[in-house]
Amino acid sequence: MRLKRIDHVGIVVRDLETALATYERNFGLRRDPNRGGELPALGIRNAFIPVGNSDLEFIQPLTDEGPVANFAKERGEGQFLLSLEVEDLSAAVEELRAKGYRVSDPNNGIAFVSPKSAHGVNLQLIERR
C-alpha cells in the first residue's frame, strides 16, 4: 500500500461559522471559499481550511441521525477522522483485509478502516484522481 499524504483531518463542530472564525482569528488560517457546503444526503454542512498540502475539514451535523450526529452526541466537538490519501484504494483495501483489518468496501473513492483496527482512530482512506 502506498500512502501519499495526510489528505485531511475531520473535526466535528457545533457551529461551523464560529469554528471557522476561531481558526481564522487564533491561527491565521483561511477557509477555502470554493469547497464545502451542505450535504443533505450525509446530514452535514462542511468547510475546508487548507494547511500546507492537507486540509482541516470542519463538519457540522444538520440532523440528529448519522455518524457525525452520533459522534457529536456521544463526544461533543473534536477530531472525527483522519483521512489518508492512497495511490490505489482497491489495492489498499485488499492489502489491509489480507492482514486481518476490518475495512469497508470502497465507495466513491473512499473506504473506512474500523477504529478497532486502527487503535481507536476513525481512519478514512481516499483515492484522489
So where are the chain's domains? 3-126
Neighbours of 12 (CB within 10 A): 23
pLDDT at 6 over 90: yes
| pLDDT above 90: residue 112 | yes
Chain-wide mean pLDDT for the chain?
96
Residue 90 binned pLDDT confidence (cut-offs 50, 70, 90)? very high
Q: Where do runs of H (alpha helix) occur along the chain?
A: 16-27, 67-75, 89-98
Does domain 3-126 sit in CATH 3.10.180.10?
A: yes
Grid cell digits, residue 19: 469554528
Q: What is the pTM of this model?
A: 0.92
Tell me what the mean pLDDT of segment 64-69 comes to. Answer: 93
pLDDT for the residue 1:
87
> Taking 90 as the threshold, does the pLDDT of residue 129 lie above it?
no
For the chain, percent of residues with pLDDT exceeding 90:
96
Average pLDDT over residues 35-46: 95
Nearest to 103, CA basis, from 10, 8, 4, 90: 90
CA distance 105 to 123: 14
Give CA–CA dist 70/44, Å, rounded.
12
